[in-house]
Amino acid sequence: MYKYITLLIVLFTSSFSFAQKEDSLFIRSIYDEALTNGKCYGNLEYLCKEIGARLSGSPQADLAINWGEQTLKDLNLDKVYRQEILVPVWKRGQRERANIMDSYLVGNKPMNIKALGGSIGTPPKGITAEVVVVESIQELSTRPESDFSGKIVLFNRPMDAKLIDTFSAYGGCVDQRWAGAKEAVKYGAVAVLVRSLTHNTDEHAHTGVMDYGDYGQKIPAAAVSTDDANAINQIVKKEGKCMVNLSLSCSSLPDAVSYNVIGEITGSEKPDSVIIIGGHLDSWDVGEGAHDDGAGIVHCIEAMRLIKESGYKPRFTIRCVLFMNEENGNRGGKKYAEEAAAKKEYQYFALESDRGGFSPRGFSIDATLEEDVYKIQSWSGLLSPYGLHLYKKGYAGVDIKPIKEKQDTVTMCGFIPDSQRYFDYHHSDKDVFETVNQRELELGAASIASMIYLVDKYGWESR
């Protein structure tokens, strides 16, 4: 009896060791191909330099859709198609202007600002008003309404420099940008300025989406550079008062037709169960959308190429989705989830890349079942030689979040690169192709392709 059990253990161990070696060699081949023949960097250069910034509903977004569709077709996938959506259309208009007015410390000083996405414009002559500095939305309710009535509110809470994870620091103050205007207007404010969400102290303003809610009354909203936020704060402290003139010409237009772009490799065993990889094709209308999210787009296109080039025959259908409208509405993510649910498709796994093109560090895991978390963590030995060491429970991504809202059993991952430089560029003029390192970018695509291989081969067999 004991000899029989020992034999089974030996056979199991030998089989497991062989599988581990086979997987290790396959993953090594993925990385070798990416690092010697990778297409990520060239694809990103075209997307950034030939198309550029691509806000939803813009001509550049349409060009990006055409490019994405053709690039996926060039991979000879089994299917490539568009999924129609309606997207909001917001235009920045003429360049924003803002000036500190006749301060003893700085005189008349032009400021670096960017209107927040979705903001209304100012009257043609702009708005001139005193600036009141606050550290949080909550502070509005602790002071008399007269402190804010007829004034411009500057939300000046910085990102927490003590947090190692810069996305946590961003999450700790993004409410100022998102909800600052709709809250300040309740206290009589005539406009809001928001300190740019970056650890850097510099002259660059970082835009982003904001929301007016259902209050009814709307006021203009803009991000201000950290340099200028500090200047205003210093003037208020030393002079007791700071006057600013603000001029925005932005506006919203009717919704427009746009598209998600989808490419598929059909599964050999379970074609009706889908593994999704994706990023968002749109960007803000400043910079070139290189890290946010051009990197994620080319990561996922390249992962499809790497799987196809390897000769591996996936058991499940692998679907690459180039989502549209993540930045100011997530209409693409919502539409994808709605249509998948209407078709009763089974979403087996979803992975998003939307944290830039920096060196790979691991994956966040959003899973209903703990066994799925443990399964992904069990692959760390195969992936650790490539610098992938983070396998923590956490948020996976904006575009794929609606999938889980429709099907809560789906397990999802977010690709995690090093985060320390991401918010130097995020939503600003600095998010350009030249800030992306070729080798780091290609490593990201290989990391995603390797994770998809392991999910497809081993996954969660009970579903």
The region, left, alpha or beta by phi > 0 then psi within -120 to 50, assigned to residue 415 is beta
CA 274 to chain centre: 22
- Catalytic-role residue among 96, 183, 326, 352: 326
Helix (H, G, I), strand (E, B) or coil at 425: helix
CA distance 35 to 437: 12
Burial class from Cβ neighbours inside 10 Å (0-12, 13-18, 19+) for residue 252 reads middle
SS (H, E, C) 165-189: CHHHHHHCCHHHHHHHHHHHHHHCC
Burial class from Cβ neighbours inside 10 Å (0-12, 13-18, 19+) for residue 256 reads middle
State yes or no: cis peptide before 293, omega within 30 of 0: yes
Shortest CA distance to 113 belongs to which of 439, 441, 427, 435?
A: 427
**Residues 68, 73, 77, 80, Cα dihedral to 10°:** 60
Going by the DSSP 8-state scheme, the letter that residue 139 receives in this structure is: G
CA distance 202 to 96: 18
| Structure token digits, residue 422 | 């991401």
| Structure token digits, residue 219 | 């006021």
Burial class from Cβ neighbours inside 10 Å (0-12, 13-18, 19+) for residue 301 reads buried
Active-site annotation holds for 326? yes
| Structure token digits, residue 83 | 């999924």
CB atoms within 10 A of CB 463: 14
Place of tokens 């809610």: 213
Which residues are designated catalytic?
326
